[in-house]
Amino acid sequence: MGKQTFNRRKKILSILLLLSLMMSVTTALASAKNISNPHSDYKTGSKDDAKDSYKVGYGTRDYKIGSQAGAQEGCKLGYKAGNEDCLKHGQIGVLTKIPAPDIKDKWTNNYKIGYNEGFKKGYTTGYNNSRYKCLQKK
C-alpha cells in the first residue's frame, strides 16, 4: 500500500513539474517575441494610431494590417493553385511563378508594401501545404 501512494505522489509531482516548465517556457517566448522586433513603432491602444500610419517602415500600423490581409488572400489562392498543380502534374509540377496581387490605388504606400510581402509569403505557404496534403493522399 505504501508503494502505491509513493507512485501516485511521484506521478502528481511530475505532472506539476511539467506544467510549470511549460508555463515558464511560454512566458519566456512571449516576452522574447516582444523584444525581438526592433522595427516596431506600433503600440496597441495608443492615441497615436493615426500618426503611426504615416511613418515609413516595417513597424507601421498600415504595413502590419496590409501584411496580414495579403497573407490571407495569398494563402487562399496558393492553396487552390497547389491543389490544381498536384492533380495535373503530381510530383513533377512545382511552383515557378507567384502571381502579382491586385493592389488598389487608394491604399497607402505602407499598406501596399505589407500586402505585397504578405501575399508572397501566404501564397507559398498555401501552395506548399496544399501540395503536401494532396501528395500524401496519392
Record the cell numbers describing residue 1, joined without a space.
500500500
Q: Where are the alpha helices (DSSP H) in 36-138?
A: 49-52, 61-89, 109-137
Bigger pLDDT: 74 vs 58: 74
* Predicted local confidence at residue 47, as pLDDT: 45
User: What's the chain's average pLDDT?
Assistant: 78
Position 93 scores a pLDDT of: 65
Domain boundaries in the chain? 52-138
pLDDT band of residue 89 (cuts 50, 70, 90) is confident
- DSSP reduced 3-state for 138: coil
